Structure 1
Amino acid sequence: MRVYGYLRASTKDQDANRAKSALIDFAENLKIKISAWFVENESGAKLNRPELFRLLEFAESGDAILIEQVDRITRLSEKDWKKLKQIIVSDNIKIISMDLPTSHNTVSATDEFQKRVLEAVNSMMLDVLAATARKDYTDRRRRQAEGIKKAQDQKKYKGRPENMELQEKIESMLNDGKSWNYIVNILGCSRGTISKVSKKIEERNCYESNSNN
C-alpha cells in the first residue's frame, strides 16, 4: 500500500502546507511512508479540484490518501460527495484521516473479517464527518452573509481588511532579496500573498519610473 499526503487550503492567502509537519509525525507514528504530496488551494465545497483528481488518477487499487481532517477532502454537497466517494470506493482507495481513529487501523489490519468490518465502519463514519463538514461550511457562510448584511444595513461594511503589517514585512524581505520560500517559512504566509505584494512593488516602481521620465 502506497500512501499519498493530500493538503488543501480554501484560498490563495491560506497556507495549504500548514498541516504537513503534523501529517509527517502522524505517519511516522503509524510506521507508514508518505510516497508523494498533493497540495492545492481550492475550496472543499468544489468537486473539481485538480490536485485531488490527479492524486486519484495516480493512485492504484489498495493505496491510501492521508489527510489531516475529513473536511480537507470534502465540504461537498451530498450529491457531489456521493460522486467523489464512488470514485474512491470503485478504485479501492483508502482514506486515512487524523480525525477518524478507525481509519488508522486499516494500516495494520491483516485479517479479512477485520478488514471488512473496518471498511464498513469507516464508510459510515466518513459519511457522518462529510455531512458535519458540509453543515459547518453552510453555517459559516450563512453567519458570514448575515453579518455582512447587518454591517451593510448599518453602513459599516468595508469588505475584508488587508493585513498591512504582514504586507509590510513581506515587502521588506523582498527588498532585501529574500526568496519566496524563505518568506513563507519565516512568516507562515501563502505564496499568493507574496505574489500580491510583489505585484504592488512592481506597479509602484513602474509608476515612479514613468513619473521620473
Structure 2
Amino acid sequence: MMYYGYHRVSTKEQNLDRGVKGIEDFCKQKNYPLQKIFLDKMSGKTFDRPRYTVLKEDVLRPGDTLILYELDRLGRNKKEIIDELRYYEDHDIRIMFLDIPTSTIDLSEESDSMNKLITDTINKVVIEIYAMQAETELQRKEKRQREGIEAKKARGEWDDYGRHRVMTPDEFAKQYKKVEQGKIGSLELMRQLKMKRSTYFKYVSEYKERHCYE
C-alpha cells in the first residue's frame, strides 16, 4: 500500500505551498508513509493535466491511497468529479479529501457492517455536495469574468479578444487633436504614447469612424 498526494492550483495563484503542507502534516500526524505529492498549475476545468495523468495512469495501483487537500483541487465539474471517484473505487484506490473528514475515516477495520454502510453513504453524499459547490463556484467566477469584460467593452476599455486597451477612445482623441492641429506628427505621438504602429493606426481608424472622417 502506497500513499500519494495530489495538489493543483490555477495558473493565477502564486504557489502550491498551502496544500502541500496540509497533505504533509496530515500524513505525519497519521504516520502515513507519503511517497510523493504530484503538482499541477492548471485550471480545474479539465482533468487533462500532465502530472495528474501520470499519477492516475502510471503510478497508482490497487490498494494505494490518494490524498488531496481539498475536493475542488481534483476538479470543478460535478459529473467529472463523480466519474473520477468511480474510477478509483473500481480500481480499489482509496481517495481522501482533507476538507471532508468522513473521507479520512478508515472503515477497513469496522466490524459493524451497518455503521460502515452508514458512514460510507454519508461520505458519498457529502462529496456530492462539495462537488456541486465547486462547480457552482466556478460558474459564478466565469459569470463575473464575462460581466466584467462586457462592462469594460461597453466603456471602451477592452480591446480585441480581451486585450486591455492602452487608453480609452476619449483619451486618444484628446491626444490625436495635436496631430490634426499640426503641432506634432504621428511618429512623435506614437513615441509619446508608447504605442506600436499597428495599435496607433487602429486607434486613428476608430477615431475617424467616430468623428465621421473619410
Please, what TM-score do these two structures have when normalized by structure 2?
0.65
Alpha carbon RMSD of aligned pairs, Å?
Answer: 2.4
**Letter paired with 1:38:** F
What CA distance in whole angstroms lies between the structure 1 residues aligned with 2:154 and 2:85? 42
Taking the TM superposition and a 5 Å limit, the aligned residue runs for 1:25-174 are 25-57=25-57, 58-78=59-79, 80-106=80-106, 109-112=108-111, 113=113, 114-157=115-158
CA deviation after TM superposition for structure 1 residue 19, in Å: 2.0
Report deviation, 1:85.
2.5
Residue 7 of structure 2 contacts residue 73 of structure 2 at CA under 8 Å; is this kept in 1? yes
Helix, strand or coil: the match of 2:6? strand
Contact 2:78 2:134 in 1 (8 A): no
- Could you report, residue by residue, the CA deviation over 1:24-78 in whole angstroms, capped at 9, with x for unpaired residues? 1122122222111211122111022232222122212221111110000011252
Distance change (3 Å), C-alpha of 1:117 and 1:75 = same
Contact 2:45 2:77 in 1 (8 A): yes
The structure with the larger Rg is 2
Q: Identify if the C-alpha distance between structure 1 residues 127 and 94 changes in structure 2 by more than 3 Å, giving closer, same or farther.
A: same
Contact 1:17 1:39 in 2 (8 A): no
The C-alpha deviation readout for 1:174-207, integer Å capped at 9, x for no partner, is: xxxxxxxxxxxxxxxxxxxxxxxxxxxxxxxxxx
In the alignment, the residues of structure 1 paired with residue 108 and residue 92 of structure 2 have an alpha-carbon distance, to the nearest angstrom, of 16
CA distance in 2, matches of 1:13, 1:131: 22
Q: Which amino acid aligns with 2:25?
A: D
Tell me the alpha carbon deviations over residues 98-131 of structure 1, each in whole angstroms, 9 at most, x when there is no partner. 110111212x751253544433332222222111
Code of the residue aligned with 2:151 in structure 1: it is K
Residue 8 of structure 2 aligns to a residue in which SS? strand
> What is the letter of the counterpart of residue 91 of structure 1?
H
SS at match of 1:89: helix
Closer, same or farther: CA 160–29 of 1 in aligned 2, 3 Å: farther
Q: Distance in 2 between matches of 1:89 and 1:66?
A: 14
Q: CA deviation at 1:90?
A: 0.8
Q: In 1, are the aligned partners of 2:8 and 2:16 still within 8 Å (CA)?
A: yes
Structure 1 residue runs without a partner (length 5+): 162-213
In 1, the alpha carbon distance for the partners of 2:103 and 2:138 equals: 23
Distance of aligned partners of 1:74 and 1:27 in 2 relative to their CA distance in 1, 3 Å threshold: same
2:122 and 2:34 map into 1 onto residues whose CA distance is: 24
Conserved? CA contact 2:75–2:81, under 8 Å = yes
Q: Which runs of 5+ in 2 are unaligned?
A: 165-214
Pair 147,97 (structure 1): closer, same or farther in 2 beyond 3 Å: same
1:172-191 to structure 2, matched below 5 A, reads none
Q: CA deviation at 1:82?
A: 3.9
- Is residue 20–residue 37 contact of structure 2 (8 Å, CA) maintained in 1? no
Name the CA distance, whole Å, in 1 between partners of 2:46 and 2:136. 15
**Contact kept in structure 2, 1:103 and 1:118, CA below 8 Å:** no
> Which deviates further from its counterpart, 152-161 or 16-25?
152-161
Give 2:6's aligned amino acid: Y
Cα pair distance change 1:82/1:98, threshold 3 Å? closer
Match of residue 192 from structure 1: none
Structure 2 Cα separation of the partners of residues 48 and 131 of structure 1: 20
